[in-house]
Amino acid sequence: MTAPYLGPDHRRSILQLTTTAIGFFGFWVAAYWALGVSYWLTLGMAVLAAAFLVKLFMIQHDCGHGSYFRSRRVRDIVGFTIGVLTMTPYQYWRKTHAHHHAHSGDLDLRGFGDVETLTVREYLALSKGKRLGYRVYRSPLTLLLLGPIFHFVLKHRYPWEVPREWKKAWASIWWTNACIAGILLGAALTIGLVPFLLVQAPITLMAGAGGILLFYVQHQFEETYWHRKPDWDFFEASVLGSSHLVLPKPLQWFTASIGIHHVHHLSSRIPNYRLQECLEANPELQRATKISLGDFRRLFRLTLWDEEAGRMVGFRELKAPTAG
């Protein structure tokens, strides 16, 4: 089903990369210019720049999967360059994200490149303090406001969980940090560090929140897929454990069709601009769990995997069982 859509179309890749880069830098400059008019106008331009930065991240994402250019060298250069803008070291992210794809939905291999998800049994076995910590972690406030600061600004500078044997990943981390430091120094010597941060900080935080939001809703829904070995299956995890996020066309464009997530997980070598074509050509793939913007609030209430019921549940559903 997916074979006809594998591999890049270089013309489409170059056109998408060019228009997205122009959009990002154009609105960045507009946001900086607006500092002399109104900071509210700057924030308005920053929203648009952040939207283009999300799409740049999706291009980095496709480079990491080997689906955007045939040349690995070109993919690595483009991926690394965008990684500086997104504050996401390319080789490090590529490695951890590959782990996510290989083990998504596997209860025996959680906690690396995914949103931490406990089972009901694991949660009830925790102390009160650790339960509180998990509740705080799973709250939208933490995930969408503190999450971008922690994940993109802090943790990506020194991701302590990365094994030392991952030499390419660590080299990518240090080189990305060096480039970010160079940009900050360049800004301090030219336009000034404060004006630079007044523009870049909201862009980074909004784009980071958007990325975390997308990642969350694509795997955290009621009838998602979690199993332990030997029952875990890659193909079932791909199609049943990934949602089809149906977005308005402009938002689908800015998110590079990543909402067609079940098709992406089934075959990550499909470039983003061919996911819709693959979906439309295969009725079997159109039966995946569909979610929309209106479902987001409900999905954030789902916090635990109930192994007995085979579904995600919220903390409220634990009140009756734990009362005694």
- Number of helices and strands (H, E) in the chain? 16, 5
Cis bond upstream, residue 321 (ω within 30) = no
- List all residues 6 or more positions away from 16 whose beta carbon is below 8 Å from its beta carbon: 59, 256, 272, 273
- List all residues 6 or more positions away from 86 whose beta carbon is below 8 Å from its beta carbon: 53, 56, 57, 60, 152, 207
Tell me what pLDDT residue 322 has. 41
- Map tokens 């958007």 to a residue: 210
Domain of residue 307, residue span: 3-323
The CA distance from 16 to 202, in Å, is 24
Average pLDDT per run of 10 along the chain, which is 324 residues long?
93 98 98 97 98 98 96 97 97 92 90 85 95 95 93 93 91 97 97 97 97 93 93 91 94 96 94 96 92 94 94 84 39
Tell me what pLDDT residue 39 has. 97
Q: Are 214 and 50 in contact (CB under 8 A)?
A: no
Beta strands in the chain (DSSP E): 118-119, 244-245, 290-291, 304-306, 311-313
Burial class (CB in 10 A: 0-12, 13-18, 19+), 198: middle
Q: How is residue 30 written in tokens?
A: 């507009």
Tell me what pLDDT residue 86 has. 97
Beta strands in 58-127 (DSSP E): 118-119
259's enclosing H/E stretch is: none
Count Cβ neighbours within 10 Å for each residue of 98-134 and write b for 16 or more, e otherwise: eeeeebbbbbebbeebbbebbbbeebeeeeeeebeeb
Tell me what pLDDT residue 5 has. 95
How many domains, the chain? Answer: 1
